[in-house]
Structure 1
Amino acid sequence: MSVSRQNKNCVKDVNPQSENWILIARVIRLWFVSDFKKTKFPFSMEMVIQDKDGDRIHVSVRRTLIYKFQNDIFEDKVYSFNFFSVSTNSGSYRTTCHQYKINFQFGTKVTSIDVIGILTGVGTQRELNRSGSTTKLNAISIEADGMIESMDSPTQGLSQLCDSGKQNVEDEFITFIHRNTIQGPKDCKEESTFVILATIKHIVADDDWWYTACLCGKVVYPDSKMFFCEKYNKHVIKVQQRYKLKLRVIDETDSTTFVLFDRDATTLINKSCAELFESHDKLIRMQKCTIATSTQHYNTL
């Protein structure tokens, strides 16, 4: 599919003043955000796209539009995007440094681009060291629908499109998110959000590590042989155990205690709180059975 060069725009120029943008970019990340209230369908589909200049922008597809695009867009593929809206890239966690983000609409058009064109430049051979192995490569410049235009540095455009698209997720997080130290929150005088890289020393064991919650996720209290949920302002019968782990963490500036709640704790332990309780109960039953069997054997002697 060919898109005329004079009609395409650059990611860095995208802003809310227009909805007539035409972008040609590679999808370097694509994921679905889960809806914890409705597990059957995801809450949204999210992407990060990158153009030939290496500029990136976040793309969001709301729940009701996922079905229109999820079977036509894939990671590491190049597409043209047009007829979308643009809004401010706000929030505590941002995947790109771009001031704005793209929101798909019902009429958004996404067209696959085959990046095959004319060889217009050959770079110098270099070696790439990854995971202890060395790979020799030679970068080339290909002219294809304007995807790579710079002849001053033939390797730049190609490397932006082909090499950088598969960057490690942890590397991207560290690259784009401003990190703070443990001392940072202690010096803060107002409510704020911090991203801290620290080492977990141990789990604080001398405290409650779980709590009983309503299915809505809020804590409940025993009352009248049932449980009372303040959110719903009524008694409930169905409850669940949820994590509330206290972690002792340390970095080069200080140490402190962080509280890890159910979703993040489940990811860390790779087991839900209910599953951990079930495993613990099975272990206790096995120990009791072993003790009872040993007692009977002793009495028969």
Structure 2
Amino acid sequence: MAGNYVRVCDLDASKEDWCILARVVRLWNVISTERGSPVSAIEMILVDEAGTQIQAAVRKKYVKKFDRILREGPVYSLRNFTVADNVGDHRTTSHQFKIIIQGETVAVIKPDNLVPVFPLTFASFEDIVGGRLDTAYLVDVMGLITGLGTERQYVTNGTRTKMNVIELENSGIKLNCALWGRYNDQLNQFLLAGDTETAVVAIFGVKIKEFQGRKGLQNALHCTKLLFNPTFQEAIDFKEGMLRNLTSPSQGISRINDTHDISYVVEATIKHVIDMDDWWYNACNACNKAVYPDSVAYYCGDCDRRVVNVKPRYRIKVRVIDDTDSTTFVIFDRPAAGYFNRTCSEMIEMFEKHGGELVCPRDISDLVDKKFLFKMDMRNLTVGRFEPSYKVKRFTDDAVILARFSDMDSGSEIYNSDVSLNLTKYGNHANKAELVDPRDLMSQFSEAEPSDAAGGAYIGLGVDGNNVLGDEVVNLDGQEGRDEGLNIADADSVSMIAHKKRVTADPVSGGAGTSNVKILKQIKQEKNA
């Protein structure tokens, strides 16, 4: 490094007369709970000309002095500071040490060109869900907002804290991110502004959390930074890439929202299965709605009572695309069982025996990149703030049906409920011998059928089409305290919204987290029901 400056990578705790040249890439205030002292520290992330980052902190007694000097963005020369070990559960950089700015420290702004502006880098969603990142370090992420929870309040030591959850998508992988306190307020301000269509958010300094073996995100108490619809080049490139992958050139999926019909049929390709390890749920025997562990039994919200007898039902969320647009379809128990020609309990039993290291049955993963004819139930459309999803009533990949469907009208791929298909069965096992004139091809897709009682469509963060998070106040007094946000966010936000139904309990012991295999004895009777 030019002059007498030391490289950031060479800093250690051996002396106090260091001198470095670095850019302040992030700066935030640590807010105190004490009266008369709103800021207890100033913290920063610095980067030198080699791109090495290190965290720096200004202690409370020197905040007033450096609050007038230090800003996010400029290049500074810093001299006469101390160096301490970089420890803790939520570190902002991987450097072994961190800088402690003292009263004798001298900070002088230098020409901006002395330290380059480095491109922003974001953690891969694949690395996050794959557990390849050390959770002791905060990460920066960017994603397309595809779902929104419902705001909830928690009470800790008499203080109320609001929380909401957003769902982010990046490269076909979705993650839930819990936002607490002022970060929830920033989310509300963004929502009120109304610019939520294909919205992108960049989140700097976020924690990787885990609940029931599934990864999620949560803001840190002070250092997290949210940027909605950012304009830096990396965000522009990301959004263009996401839209390129999610949309394509006809008059297909793009017309679904224009319909006033009860049913619609569309030809589309499944591009990926959303949450591959989340393809079924436990259902109440009486109403087929999702149930949740409750002491020594399960609780059914629809029946408003505890139940003991439950059964597994399919709920497969897929991303589909045609040459006009893309969207999310949800395949519930009736059409899934018809297509696979096996009940959900049979699929679970087969998967437990032969699944090996797979995250879901091969029958389900093999849906990807196949073209299907889908019949959608528009009465169960769930429209969220960011993105709707649609319940699949029936679907097939039979080549003869697909060909005849295309022959009906080469200029359109969507037909309303007046167009019919005469099939005795649907899915893989359609009776081809009974196929008739193309004008009658859609009769089976159009006839009325009992509603799949799984509760409607899945929208982003919802469960069974219902808002799991409600306007209730949860008292956390006497429970685990807040650690830069509340650790309980994992259990009460991320998991409740997208994963709650996967928690199983042994009705005898009441133990949460019991393997799904252990409930097979309870549900095998459903195979012959």
Q: What TM-score do you get using the length of structure 2 for normalisation?
A: 0.29
Q: What TM-score do you get using the length of structure 1 for normalisation?
A: 0.47
